[in-house]
Amino acid sequence: MNIFDTHAHYDDASYDGDRDQVIEAVRAAGVKHFVNISADLASLKGTLNILDKYPESYGTLGIHPSEVRDLDESVMEEIAEKTRNNDRIVAIGEIGLDYWDEGPDKESQAFWFRRQLDLARELGKPVVIHSRDAVQDTYDILSEKHAEDMGGVIHCFSASAEMAKLYVKKGYFIGIGGVVTFKNAKTLREVTECVPLENIVLETDCPYLAPVPFRGKRNHSGNLTLVAEKIAEIKGISAEKVCSATYENALKLYRLK
Ligand code: NI
């Protein structure tokens, strides 16, 4: 089976003790590629280190909405320069809005979301979108900026089936991970049912969001077989079909062919 993890954080400190062994196990589980996603200043460097070490990896550069407090224009220049100088940087992200906890104020989140959407357009890259408790504002800013021109993925999708349909109509991919296996994830299972397979990509968000029965433990891309099985069950198709289709979708999302 070929598996493509479209969203991982292997630069996270929780892998510092055994990163090579984890990646070995991930390879053995059939994961052919993974994309290491930047979220804060340290992970801009951390992602480049991952690319140097693991030839099957790709990366994204961008600043997560919870991390925009001390951001300035020099960081945008750094992202632009690093993206231009490394063809394995495949997208700008993760960027977006997060109203879930006491993060930076909404105005500065929106400012840096828009700024990084502009940056993606300048660089000609797709976007990886993080949206938590900010469904309508995320959709509105993406629409205002016509981000569908760049294309991208709504990572860890957590909105309604109706909202998923609006994104699909604009050509976005919907990222589905371990949450789909959680007992209380009724809405995400509805989303999974109604979104066409051609618009779904697999993602772990590891080290977070491990699927059942590993919920709460450190996650890794090898666990995507469990996510693929759940999607297969919901859609009434085989897990092999889910893996091969989402693999092709990931290549399309990140323009790897
Ligand atoms: Ni993430």
Q: How far is the CA of 7 from the centre of ligand 1 (A)?
A: 6
Residue 202 neighbours by CB under 8 Å, 6+ apart? 3, 4, 5, 6, 175, 176, 177, 224, 227, 228, 242, 243, 246, 250
Place of tokens 């949450």: 179
pLDDT at 49 (0 to 100): 98
Tokens of 141: 């800013």
Q: How far is the CA of 237 from the centre of ligand 1 (A)?
A: 28
pLDDT at 101 (0 to 100): 82
Q: Which amino acid is at 84?
A: R
| Cα dihedral across residues 111, 117, 123, 127: positive or negative | positive
Tokens of 123: 């660089």
- Across 210-238, b (16+ Cβ under 10 Å) vs e yields bbbeeeeeebbbbbbbbbbbbbbebbeee
Q: How far is the CA of 203 from the centre of ligand 1 (A)?
A: 9
Give the residue extent of every domain in the chain: 3-253
Q: How far is the CA of 247 from the centre of ligand 1 (A)?
A: 19
Three-state DSSP class for residue 4: strand
Q: What is the CA radius of gyration of the chain?
A: 17
pLDDT at 1 (0 to 100): 81
Bond into 94 cis (ω within 30): yes
Report the candidate in 67, 34, 30 with the shortest Cα–Cα distance to residue 51. 34
| Cα dihedral across residues 205, 170, 86, 246: positive or negative | positive
Q: How far is the CA of 206 from the centre of ligand 1 (A)?
A: 7
- Distances from the Cα of 110 to the Cαs of 9, 64, 113, 116, in angstroms? 24, 11, 5, 10
Q: How far is the CA of 207 from the centre of ligand 1 (A)?
A: 9
Give the separation between CA 169 and CA 167, rounded to whole angstroms: 5
Along the 257 residues of the chain, how does pLDDT read in single tens digits?
Answer: 899 999 999 999 999 999 999 999 999 999 999 999 999 999 999 999 999 999 999 999 999 999 999 899 999 999 999 999 999 999 999 999 999 988 999 999 999 999 999 999 999 999 999 999 999 999 999 999 999 999 999 999 999 999 999 999 999 999 999 999 999 999 999 999 999 999 999 999 999 999 999 999 999 999 999 999 999 999 999 999 999 999 999 999 999 98
Q: Which fold has domain 3-253?
A: TIM Barrel (3.20.20)
Q: How far is the CA of 64 from the centre of ligand 1 (A)?
A: 9
Q: Are residues 129 and 92 in contact, defined by beta-carbon separation less than 8 angstroms?
A: no
Q: Are strands 200-202 and 152-154 parallel, antiparallel or unpaired?
A: unpaired
